[in-house]
Amino acid sequence: MDKKVKILAEIGNILSSSLDIEKNLPSVLKVLSDSLEMERGTITLVDPFTNELKIEVAQGLTREEKERGKYKIGEGITGKVVESGEPMVVKDIGEEPLFLNRTQARKGKFAFLCVPIKIGNKVAGALSVDHLFKGDISYEEDVKLLTIIAAMVGQAVKIRELAEKDKQAVVAENIQLKQQIKGKYKFGNIVFTSPIMENVLDGARQVAQSQANVLLKGESGTGKELVAAAIHYASPRAERPFIKVACAALPENLLESELFGYERGAFTGAIERKAGRFEMADGGTLFLDEIGDLSHATQVKLLRVLQEKEFERLGGNKSIKVDVRIICATHRNLEKMVKEGKFRSDLFYRINVFPVTIPPLRDRKEDIPLLVAHFTHKYNKENNKKIEGVSRAALDMLIGYDWPGNVRELENVIERAVIVCGKELIGPRDLPGNLSAKDVEVKAEGTTLPKIVESIEKQKIEEALIKYKSQRKAAKALGLTERMLGYKVKKYKLSA
Ligand SMILES: Nc1ncnc2c1ncn2[C@@H]1O[C@H](COP(=O)(O)OP(=O)(O)OP(=O)(O)O)[C@@H](O)[C@H]1O
Ligand SMILES: [Mg+2]
């Protein structure tokens, strides 16, 4: 193969091997010096900020020599080439007044060839080489070859610029997303009006400022994750990561590799080293959801990290130090689990530094109307609808219901209602059947205990009579004699 074609193919390969031109350009120069009688190759690029020419890579120059090699556009031969966009050849640099020899590296007789690096019509820099002085010959062929190589370098520089711009755009987007997430998880976005929630959130807001580990307790769907995120984003760690681990979702060995990461070859399938969530959360907050589901072995490992603030990756022996704040959550009764020997007491005391209990929705029904409005608004937007709210009857049903699935269940009910509702107001028919009055727990009336007891008794008897359609069966189900039931039926004026 023609020597020049071979050189070009080689350089093409180098430049397309990666976007990292800092790494690629020296290899390009090395090909030139290895295969041609060219030495001291230099690639100079225009700094877009200062508009100065800076030596990007140079072969055979020390760092100091490179540092000295700064030119203004128009200055020296390289400067002239960049300014004019035309190649220049100096047959004997010793004789050339334009040759500034800024780097002071050259001694002896050399020819100097310099060609522009172009990106489209713009000159982005120059490629120059020293050529052993061969007498008064034309360097036309060499200049042609260098011009082609310079065009290839120009392409690589352009691709790098595009990739840089892309990266900047992604970074900007990330910052924007971060702000959005921060906004979403502000304490201000937790909807409530009940004094009991106000109390809980006051505590959470205070602890956010400290470094203390937090244990969030509460039934499923009460908003533990929401509060955990709010604590993180109100804390001094807000700019650092908030990393979540769902402890219940993974089997023991997988969970440990998630938490602590692993070294290459730690187990079959570990083809590459992987950082664990502890490492990812460094400087930030690690949210361990469903901590009550941890196995004994994992409890031991977790305890060690909490005590010593260091751990090893699976299959590794290097200790890794981390600075992580832990927020745990559980719907289980950890105290009871400790008593039963199912949860280590030493771990419990470490994570239970600041317990926060989020009350179930049924204990703060004042929050329901606000939450309903909040979710109606949210799902209006998502579904492009304009539901104004809920009817009185529907709201009564929502308030009457017990919400075993708490706020999450309420959110699901409203999402569904917004979708199926064809009018301005969500009505009882838009709500699921299990919310209807007959499933609502006994609504006691009256203020004195005997009155309340009577009202419950009346309601229960009525239900049993409807259900069993016979006084005998109803009495049996209620644990009464038939005679007693007959008496009460009369008292409450119920018909069998
Ligand atoms: N006070 C609140 N204001 C607004 N949205 C809330 C509130 N409480 C909970 N939510 C919403 O309800 C849903 C459930 O909350 P979250 O996931 O935080 O509950 P959880 O306690 O972590 O539940 P689980 O134990 O099942 O994981 C989420 O979509 C959350 O945004
Ligand atoms: Mg949760």
**What is the β-pairing status of strands 274-275 and 285-289?**
unpaired
Is residue 419 classed as helix, strand or coil in its secondary structure? helix
**What is the β-pairing status of strands 389-390 and 425-426?**
parallel
pLDDT at position 106: 60
Boundary of a domain, candidates 343, 359, 375: 359
Distance of CA 425 from the midpoint of ligand 2 (Å): 31
pLDDT at position 440: 44
Q: How confident is the model at residue 183 (pLDDT cuts 50, 70, 90)?
A: low
Distance of CA 134 from the midpoint of ligand 2 (Å): 78
pLDDT at position 158: 83
Angle at 476 between CA 475 and CA 478, to 5 degrees: 65
Distance of CA 273 from the midpoint of ligand 2 (Å): 29
Kindly report the number of other CB atoms within 10 A of residue 94's CB atom.
Answer: 13
| Domain CATH number, residue 423 | 1.10.8.60
Q: Whole-model pTM above 0.75?
A: no
**411 or 69, which is more confident?**
411
Alpha helices in 188-251 (DSSP H): 195-208, 224-233
Boundary of a domain, candidates 332, 359, 386: 359
CA dist., res. 432 & res. 170, Å (int): 43
| Shortest-distance Cα residue to atom 24 of ligand 1 | 220
pLDDT at position 438: 46
> Measured from the CB, is residue 223 less than 6 Å from ligand 1?
yes
Q: Which of 367, 349, 332, 333 lies closest to 201 in space, CA to CA?
A: 367
- Across the range 173-200, mean pLDDT stands at 78
Q: CA-CA distances (angstroms) from residue 338 to 298, 334, 341, 347? A: 15, 6, 5, 10
Distance of CA 408 from the midpoint of ligand 1 (Å): 6
Q: Does 178 have pLDDT greater than 80?
A: no
- Across the range 423-427, mean pLDDT stands at 90
Per cent of the chain over pLDDT 90 is 42
302 in any annotated domain: yes
Distance of CA 405 from the midpoint of ligand 2 (Å): 12
Q: What is the number of the ligand closest to the CA of 227?
A: 1
> Measured from the CB, is residue 226 less than 6 Å from ligand 1?
yes
| Domain CATH number, residue 297 | 3.40.50.300
Q: What is the number of the ligand closest to the CA of 330?
A: 1
User: 284-288, 331-335, 416-420, 486-490: lowest mean pLDDT where?
Assistant: 486-490
Distance of CA 176 from the midpoint of ligand 2 (Å): 25
Q: Which of 251, 260, 216, 213 lies closest to 235 in space, CA to CA?
A: 213
Boundary of a domain, candidates 439, 465, 482: 439
pLDDT at position 234: 93
Distance of CA 227 from the midpoint of ligand 1 (Å): 8
| Domain CATH number, residue 60 | 3.30.450.40
**Which amino acid is it at 364?**
R
484 in any annotated domain: yes
Q: What does the pLDDT look like over 17-49, one tens digit per residue?
A: 777 777 888 888 888 888 777 777 888 888 777
Tokens representing residue 375 in the block: 């979710």
168 in any annotated domain: no
| Shortest-distance Cα residue to atom 31 of ligand 1 | 226
> Measured from the CB, is residue 232 less than 6 Å from ligand 1?
no
Same domain for 135 and 253, yes or no, is: no
Q: CA-CA distances (angstroms) from residue 88 to 113, 141, 142, 381, 477? A: 6, 13, 12, 65, 107
Atom of ligand 1 nearest to the CA of 224: 21
496 in any annotated domain: no
Same domain for 18 and 114, yes or no, is: yes
Q: What does the pLDDT look like over 111-163, one tens digit per residue?
A: 888 999 998 888 989 998 887 777 667 788 888 888 989 988 888 888 877 77
Same domain for 283 and 415, yes or no, is: no
Same domain for 320 and 194, yes or no, is: yes
Same domain for 212 and 109, yes or no, is: no
Same domain for 344 and 370, yes or no, is: no
Per cent of the chain over pLDDT 70 is 86
- Cβ atoms of 134 and 90 within 8 Å: the answer is no
Q: What does the pLDDT look like over 57-68, one tens digit per residue?
A: 877 666 776 666
Angle at 129 between CA 126 and CA 134, to 5 degrees: 140
- Across the range 453-472, mean pLDDT stands at 82
CA dist., res. 116 & res. 149, Å (int): 10
- Cβ atoms of 475 and 481 within 8 Å: the answer is yes
pLDDT at position 208: 94
User: Best mutation site among 191, 198, 226, 233 for ligand 1, i.e. most ligand atoms within 8 A of its Cβ?
Assistant: 226
Q: Does 372 have pLDDT greater than 50?
A: yes
Q: How confident is the model at residue 435 (pLDDT cuts 50, 70, 90)?
A: confident
Mean pLDDT of the chain: 85
Q: How confident is the model at residue 76 (pLDDT cuts 50, 70, 90)?
A: confident
Q: Does 476 have pLDDT greater than 70?
A: yes
251 contacts: CB under 8 Å, gap ≥ 6: none
> Measured from the CB, is residue 407 less than 6 Å from ligand 1?
yes
Distance of CA 453 from the midpoint of ligand 2 (Å): 38
Question: What are the backbone dihedrals phi and psi of residue 352, each rounded to the nearest 5 degrees, phi first?
Answer: -90, 30
Q: What does the pLDDT look like over 437-457, one tens digit per residue?
A: 544 445 566 677 787 788 788
Q: CA-CA distances (angstroms) from residue 166 to 48, 50, 173, 495? A: 17, 22, 10, 78
- Cβ atoms of 380 and 424 within 8 Å: the answer is no
Q: What does the pLDDT look like over 395-410, one tens digit per residue?
A: 989 999 999 999 999 9
53 in any annotated domain: yes
Q: What is the number of the ligand closest to the CA of 200?
A: 1
> Measured from the CB, is residue 225 less than 6 Å from ligand 1?
yes
pLDDT at position 443: 56
pLDDT at position 69: 64
Query: Which long-range contacts link 442-445 to residues 24+ away (Cβ below 8 Å)?
Result: 443/400
- Across the range 324-343, mean pLDDT stands at 95
Q: How confident is the model at residue 180 (pLDDT cuts 50, 70, 90)?
A: low
308 in any annotated domain: yes
170 in any annotated domain: no
Question: How many domains, in total, are found in the chain?
Answer: 4
> Measured from the CB, is residue 190 less than 6 Å from ligand 1?
yes
In 3-state terms the chain splits into helix, strand, coil percentages (rounded to 5) of: 50, 15, 30
- Across the range 85-100, mean pLDDT stands at 77
Tokens representing residue 37 in the block: 């009688």
> Measured from the CB, is residue 58 less than 6 Å from ligand 1?
no
User: 139-148, 168-177, 486-495: lowest mean pLDDT where?
Assistant: 168-177
Same domain for 275 and 300, yes or no, is: yes
Q: Annotate 180-203 with b (16+ C-beta within 10 A) or e (fewer).
A: eebeebebeebbbebeebeebbee
**What is the β-pairing status of strands 389-390 and 110-119?**
unpaired
> Measured from the CB, is residue 219 less than 6 Å from ligand 1?
no
Helix or strand (DSSP H, E) at 175: helix 140-184
> Measured from the CB, is residue 248 less than 6 Å from ligand 1?
no
Same domain for 20 and 88, yes or no, is: yes
| Shortest-distance Cα residue to atom 18 of ligand 1 | 223
Kindly report the number of other CB atoms within 10 A of residue 365's CB atom.
Answer: 15
Atom of ligand 1 nearest to the CA of 226: 18
pLDDT at position 341: 94
Q: What does the pLDDT look like over 344-363, one tens digit per residue?
A: 999 999 999 999 999 999 99
> Measured from the CB, is residue 220 less than 6 Å from ligand 1?
yes
Same domain for 153 and 31, yes or no, is: yes
Same domain for 405 and 305, yes or no, is: no
Q: Does 55 have pLDDT greater than 60?
A: yes
> Measured from the CB, is residue 377 less than 6 Å from ligand 1?
no
> Measured from the CB, is residue 274 less than 6 Å from ligand 1?
no
Range of the domain at 144: 3-163
Same domain for 274 and 416, yes or no, is: no
**187 or 344, which is more confident?**
344
User: 105-114, 234-243, 377-386: lowest mean pLDDT where?
Assistant: 105-114
- Cβ atoms of 216 and 358 within 8 Å: the answer is yes
Q: Does 109 have pLDDT greater than 90?
A: no
180 in any annotated domain: no
Same domain for 233 and 331, yes or no, is: yes
> Measured from the CB, is residue 93 less than 6 Å from ligand 1?
no
CA dist., res. 143 & res. 140, Å (int): 5
Atom of ligand 1 nearest to the CA of 227: 18
Give the number of residues written for the chain.
496
67 contacts: CB under 8 Å, gap ≥ 6: none
User: 204-213, 277-286, 336-345, 428-437: lowest mean pLDDT where?
Assistant: 428-437
Atom of ligand 1 nearest to the CA of 289: 27
> Token pair 């304009």 is at which residue?
386
